[in-house]
Amino acid sequence: MSERIQVWDVPTRVFHWSMVLSFCGVFLTSESERYRDIHVMLGYTMLGLIAFRVLWGFMGTRYARFASFLFTSGEVLTYVSALARGRAERYVGHNPAGSVAIWLLLFLIIGSGASGVLLFQDIGGDMMEELHEVLSFAMLAVVAVHIAGVVVSSILHRENLVSAMISGTKEAAPEAGEERSYAWLGVIMLLAVVTFWAGYSALSAMAPAEFAGHAEQRDDDD
């Protein structure tokens, strides 16, 4: 008995794809001073998204909650060894191996974002520069593993996990479903991201000098 049920609520999906977009942008602009303002803007976006995600990990729906993907090391090992034999159990939400990537990404995005903010405020010097680069490339590596995991898992269980992150739905037992979608919250998030991008771009184009000063003040408030 399985049917199409909702697994990923709307805010989780908006979070995921906004993060994907920001992540791509931040790497495309990382090796240039020309796009430094865009790089910084996207870094702030990622930190904002993560702040939401941490709250949502406690307050969100069933599969978005941290408790649903907090596995023991034993569970992770069991899963990985089963995976190696091509017999991994199917999880409706995050599987134990996938959850490791999610936790790592969570910490790495916070670390890379925070070190980037400090670096941009000229705090920490060469050490901070080094830290920002190492954490960012570690994040890139984990993203590669995450994508590989999605491909492997999709093939293994004959389901498209990418489209599941778009539609939010999967084929599963009805009682595994999560009915609340919080579409309104997803819309608010989307609007917040777009407004921030538009506002930030307009401000930095208008008065770069004053804007840099503004960014410094903003950091002092933190």
> Minimal distance in Å, beta carbon 20 to another protein?
21
What minimum distance in Å lies between the beta carbon of 212 and another protein?
4
Residue 98 burial (10 A CB sphere; 0-12, 13-18, 19+): buried
Amino acid at 78: T
By CB under 8 A, name the binding residues for another protein: 31-37, 40, 70-74, 76, 100, 103-104, 107-108, 120, 122, 126, 130-131, 134-135, 138, 208-209, 211-212
Q: Which is nearer to another protein, 126 or 221 (CB)?
A: 126
Nearer to another protein, 142 or 172 (CB): 142
Closer to another protein by Cβ: residue 12 or 30: 30
Tell me the closest approach of the beta carbon of residue 138 to another protein, in angstroms. 5
List the helix and strand counts (H, then E) for the chain.
8, 2
Residue 54 has phi, psi (to 5 degrees) of -65, -45
| Residue partners of 144: CB distance under 8 A and separation at least 6 | none
Of 125 and 174, the one with the shorter C-beta distance to another protein is: 125
Distance in Å, CB of 103 to another protein, minimum: 6
Angle among Cα 194, 200, 206 to the nearest 5 degrees reads 135
Residue 83 contacts residue 97 (beta carbons within 8 Å): yes
196 vs 211, beta carbon nearer another protein: 211
DSSP 33: S
Closest distance of CB 17 from another protein, Å: 25
